[in-house]
């Protein structure tokens, strides 16, 4: 197994590998059109989360730092309308779910001119499960946004106060809605490691070893608090009347190109059969196990609600395992589409996607990873199908008429 230092180094760079690339636009397939009719009585979606499901809130906040280019091409190059603030070449899982439900694509809350009849997206790229104040008390800096889960929940309450006249009306609206709680929480851990990242000038020193150890301890210590924050928000929404809720787990970050590139572990024993780092995936599963325990408690407290655990971890692993059969290039399953064009993972920490010399692959649909962290439109579609039609969101939050394998 990879040693602690290499695993930690892998996590440290996570947030440094999300800068968008500046390359030629890719072919634009037509935008999905909603189906007709209502599926399983769901008339609206309310979504909370981070860059995995943000459809434009971050760029409307006035995107800053390394994520500031997510509102320009080639991000969104597979969307007819171009870049929208989605961290991918095209559509996300939340878009595919809305389409399958026969609903319009979910608009970001900060798009004040949008039609929110069928729901609102509160997710913000770079957001955290814990408040920025709570992280600051630990000495952890949040560099991209202050719109943590508590802020998103306040937005939801403000929206409901402005569009309903009573708590009962809120309950009625939630009774025909699907609520998605994330994915959120991964950035909390990433920021803990970034705050304590080694100093380049002192690389290999005892000082750096201490900082690395502090980062590891901080991230491990955050797991119970991060999970509890997600569960507390879920409980509050259930109290307000939510009857169908999806709470996703974390991805297997040991399979993500940016992490794999950073570790560059030479020992074959450090990897599983899919080429993923075993140690780092174990860390992700720590979060997932704690989250599932809390979800079971919520189900006991709210027996009339359907509270589904979306197994992002297993869905991603299955995608990698069956990459060739699902239309991906198996040889590029852990390689970024947008990057420096060399190396096993097409990721270079010193020349991030968008820097001079970076390029976009010719066929993004054959890649799982778009930019080394976020996924391609094709990958998000496959994951959405596995979750909502293939049984990896359990119990099923929506009764679709067919099951896709």
- List 50, 188, 311, 371, catalytic entry: 371
Any idea what DSSP says for residue 246? Answer: E
List strands edge to edge, sheet with 393-394.
119-121, 44-48, 177-181, 244-248, 306-310, 393-394
- List 51, 127, 258, 384, catalytic entry: 51
Coil/strand/helix, residue 339: strand
| CA 116 – CA 190 distance, rounded (Å) | 32
Question: Can you give the pLDDT at residue 157?
Answer: 98
Question: Can you give the pLDDT at residue 342?
Answer: 75
Mean pLDDT of successive 10-residue segments in the chain (405 residues)? 42 35 37 61 98 96 73 87 92 98 97 96 96 93 92 98 98 98 91 62 48 60 96 98 98 90 88 93 94 98 98 98 97 92 80 74 96 94 98 97 51
Sign of the C-alpha dihedral computed for residues 50, 53, 58 and 63 taken in this order: positive
Q: How far is CA 78 from each of CA 29, 87, 243, rounded to the nearest angstrom?
A: 6, 12, 34
374 among known catalytic residues: yes
- List 69, 144, 287, 374, catalytic entry: 374
3-state helix, strand, coil in the chain (%, to 5): 40, 10, 50
Burial class (CB in 10 A: 0-12, 13-18, 19+), 25: middle
Cα Rg, the chain, nearest whole Å? 20
Question: Can you give the pLDDT at residue 338?
Answer: 87
- pTM of model > 0.75: yes
Judge whether 306 and 395 are in contact, CB under 8 Å. yes
Coil/strand/helix, residue 380: helix
User: Which H helix or E strand runs over 166?
Assistant: none
51 among known catalytic residues: yes
| CA 7 – CA 283 distance, rounded (Å) | 9
Sketch the domain layout of the chain as residue ranges.
Answer: 4-326
| CA 138 – CA 287 distance, rounded (Å) | 19
CATH architecture assigned to 4-326? 3-Layer(aba) Sandwich (3.40)
- Phi then psi dihedrals of residue 68, to 5 deg: -70, -15
Quick: pLDDT tens for 19-66.
333 333 333 443 444 445 689 999 999 999 999 999 999 999 987 666
Question: Can you give the pLDDT at residue 211?
Answer: 47
Max distance between CA atoms of the chain, in angstroms, equals 63
Question: Can you give the pLDDT at residue 349?
Answer: 63
Question: Can you give the pLDDT at residue 191?
Answer: 83
Q: In this structure, what token pair is assigned to residue 109?
A: 């809350």
Question: Can you give the pLDDT at residue 2?
Answer: 42
Coil/strand/helix, residue 387: helix
How many residues are recorded in the chain? 405
């Amino acid at each position: 197994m990879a040693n602690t230092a290499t695993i930690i180094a892998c996590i440290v760079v996570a947030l440094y590998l999300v800068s968008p690339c500046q390359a030629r636009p890719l072919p634009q397939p037509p935008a999905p059109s909603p189906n007709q009719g209502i599926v399983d009585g769901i008339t609206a979606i309310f979504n909370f989360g981070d860059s995995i499901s943000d459809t434009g809130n971050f760029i409307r906040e006035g995107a800053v730092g390394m994520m500031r280019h997510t509102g320009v091409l080639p991000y969104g190059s597979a969307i007819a309308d171009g870049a929208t603030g989605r961290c991918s070449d095209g559509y996300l899982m939340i878009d595919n779910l809305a389409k399958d439900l026969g609903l319009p694509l979910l608009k970001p809350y900060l798009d004040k001119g949008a039609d929110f009849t069928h729901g609102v997206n509160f997710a913000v790229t770079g957001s955290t499960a814990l408040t920025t104040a709570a992280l600051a008390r630990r000495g952890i800096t949040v560099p991209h946004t202050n719109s943590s889960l508590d802020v998103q929940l306040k937005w939801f309450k403000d929206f409901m106060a402005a569009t309903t006249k009573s708590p009962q009306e809120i309950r009625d609206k939630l009774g025909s809605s699907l609520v998605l709680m994330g994915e959120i929480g991964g950035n909390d851990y990433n920021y803990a490691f970034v705050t304590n990242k080694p100093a380049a000038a002192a690389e290999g020193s005892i000082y750096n070893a201490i900082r690395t150890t502090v980062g590891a301890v901080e991230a491990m210590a955050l797991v119970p608090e991060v999970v509890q924050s997600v569960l507390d928000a879920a409980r509050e929404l259930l109290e307000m009347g939510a009857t169908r809720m999806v709470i996703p787990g974390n991805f297997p970050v040991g399979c993500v190109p940016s992490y794999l590139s950073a570790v560059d572990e030479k020992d074959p024993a450090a990897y599983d059969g899919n080429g993923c780092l075993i140690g780092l995936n174990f860390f992700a599963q720590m979060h997932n196990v704690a989250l599932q325990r809390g979800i079971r408690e919520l189900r006991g407290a709210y027996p009339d609600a359907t509270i589904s655990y979306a197994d992002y971890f297993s869905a991603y692993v299955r995608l990698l395992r069956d990459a060739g059969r699902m239309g991906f290039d198996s040889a590029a399953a852990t390689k970024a589409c947008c990057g420096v064009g060399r190396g096993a993972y097409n990721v270079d920490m010193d020349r991030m996607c968008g820097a001079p010399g970076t390029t976009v692959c010719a066929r993004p649909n054959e890649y799982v990873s778009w930019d080394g962290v976020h996924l391609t439109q094709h990958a998000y579609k496959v994951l959405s199908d596995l979750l909502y039609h293939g049984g990896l969101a359990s119990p099923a939050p929506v009764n679709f008429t067919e099951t896709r394998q």
